[in-house]
Amino acid sequence: LEEGARSCLLRFRHRLEQDIKPSYLMDHMISDGVLTVDEEERISNKPTRKDQAVALLELLLRKDNRGYISFYNALVKETYGDLANLLHDDLPQTLPGAYKSSSDGCTSYVQTVLSEGGVPQRPVVFVSRPEFVNCVREKLYRLQKEPGWVTVFGMAGSGKSVLAAEAVRHHGLIEECFPGGIHWLSIGQLDKPDLMVKIQSLCFRLEQSLDSPSLHRPPNSLDEAKERLRYLTLRRYPRSLLILDDIWDSTVLKAFDIHCRILLTTRNRSLTDSVSGAKYEVEVESGLDEKKGLEILALYTNTKLHGLPEEARSIVKECKGSPLVVSLIGALLKEKPNRWRYYLNQLQQKQFKRIRKSSSYDYDALDQAMDASIEVLPDEHRELYKDLSVLEKDIKVPAKVLSVLWDLEPEHVEDILEEFVNKSLLFVDSNNKPHLYYLHDLQLDFLVEQNRTQLEVSLDQHYRDGPPTSGDEECLYWIRFLTHHMAKANLSQELYSLMFSLDWVSIKAQIMGPAHLINDYVEYGPILDKEVMRSQFQEFLSLNGHQLEQRPFPDVVQLALSQPHTSEVYRQALLQAQDRASTG
């Protein structure tokens, strides 16, 4: 630690010890990577707030300049304005030699600009994602000549914040586009008063860094705060970039609609619809590829890639490479290296509450991170979203299928689905016409876990007049999954009529082939508890499997007539044959 900074800490030590709440400050310092979780724990174990504060200052004095800067930023973020003021004059200007330069344009200049602006450091364990970082940088370059918005969006835990911070860690970009500095603001879900406090503390930070800090009283209203910020970004910090992390609400964005340069991260793609100016967007993929996922686990557990146990691959696969999940589990394994199998099981059994980490990420556990997105939906849509738990893994469905499930008009359904997609709660495959929708595995698992209660499906009304028969996308889905949905919805009477109907057998065999049908009997037969009838249908299918694969498709009634006369299959065929004969 630089002499000036040390002396400043020592001079104001008692003031600081009296006022600060270490637990709040330490969270920020952990995300900045200047405090370890162990250090935090040791401090938190002290009995009183005062003891904790004493211990924190003691520790800070043993840290380097980054510790001081991070502590200062934490004070600002937690709105200890006057305490931050005391430390401001002695903020170290340069960082130690080790950070002077590195190959990827991350020089000491970059380090200084970013730490002054409160941009978080790289996570301790970090893998590069050049395809996305370059994409964000490319969009940021478009803000060189004019103000505008770059939206980085994607689902919970896909790595948006890490990516945003990484994108600006670049000498050329800062020098050419944002010489006025980079200023980070964590937003999250907040109400108006909180938002005002955030903007206030940003204004405070900006004013403090000027040579002649103004003596403005703090703004009294959101509008006043907005005006203050407008003045500062326009006049005192031209060509600076504001990074707004984790935005949920477009009213928040409106407060920043002041003709400046903004990079924002969000799960909600359409937020910038309501603000003015040039807009660009980058979609972050929800998962890392297998190699990167394994790399994270290897780094956390201090193992070589090829030395990882076999569970490692299954963990990455199970969560589809979600950076959040892989890192949460990595961090847990770092502490408990023998628990590969245990954590894999937890993940497979959807024990999301058990997968939690002790620090820095905003959500304590995976379930909270997921739940947050669902909780902000309007009530009626939240219920509909939960219904999506009936979907099968890796199966994509057209809007029409959901209009049956929800019993709503297709157009209405499309609007709702669009909302889900925009909020990163659902994925769409738009290469296909009509568009197909699907859930990320983690979202599906989470929904199923939450929704153990039975779902009342409106299938019954829709298919009272018999199963679907046309060959369009919707019908294909139902022919494949109707039995599955009925079984899930406990519609056993309907399932019974369907599975033991020669008409259904004929339709499904024609479209899906006999193997699918046999599979239905094996899977759902036991629910119906009709062993004899089940074996009759199964036998019919196995005996005639070869014929049923032929095209043109054979006459099923003819085939069925050769069944033993005691068989239900024969009985139905006979009725149909008589019917045919009587109608000519």
Q: Which positions touch ligand ADP (CB under 6 A)?
A: 123, 125-127, 129, 154, 156-162, 265, 296, 323-324, 327, 361
Residue with the CB atom nearest ligand ADP in the bound state: 159
Instruction: Give CA–CA dist 4/26, Å, rounded.
Output: 23
Instruction: Give CA–CA dist 256/311, Å, rounded.
Output: 46
Instruction: Give CA–CA dist 80/455, Å, rounded.
Output: 50
What tokens does 299 get? 């780094």
Report the residue number, 22 or 159, with the smaller CB distance to ligand ADP. 159
Find out whether 248 and 186 touch, Cβ atoms under 8 Å: no
Distance of closest approach, residue 246 Cβ to ligand ADP, in angstroms? 6
Report the residue number, 240 or 373, with the smaller CB distance to ligand ADP. 373
Q: Is 399 exposed, middle or buried (0-12, 13-18, 19+ CB in 10 A)?
A: buried
Instruction: Please report the DSSP string for 522-566 in residue order.
Output: HHHHHHHT-HHHHHHHHHHHHHHHHHHT-SSPP-HHHHHTTS-TT
Report the residue number, 65 or 186, with the smaller CB distance to ligand ADP. 186
Q: At what angle do helices 37-44 and 49-61 cross, to 10 degrees?
A: 140
Report the residue number, 13 or 334, with the smaller CB distance to ligand ADP. 334
Q: What is the largest CA-CA distance in the chain?
A: 106
Report the residue number, 92 or 123, with the smaller CB distance to ligand ADP. 123
Report the residue number, 327 or 506, with the smaller CB distance to ligand ADP. 327
Report the residue number, 26 or 127, with the smaller CB distance to ligand ADP. 127
Instruction: Give CA–CA dist 492/302, Å, rounded.
Output: 53
What tokens does 339 get? 């628990």
Distance of closest approach, residue 336 Cβ to ligand ADP, in angstroms? 17
Distance of closest approach, residue 327 Cβ to ligand ADP, in angstroms? 3
Q: Is 450 exposed, middle or buried (0-12, 13-18, 19+ CB in 10 A)?
A: middle
Instruction: Give CA–CA dist 480/393, Å, rounded.
Output: 14
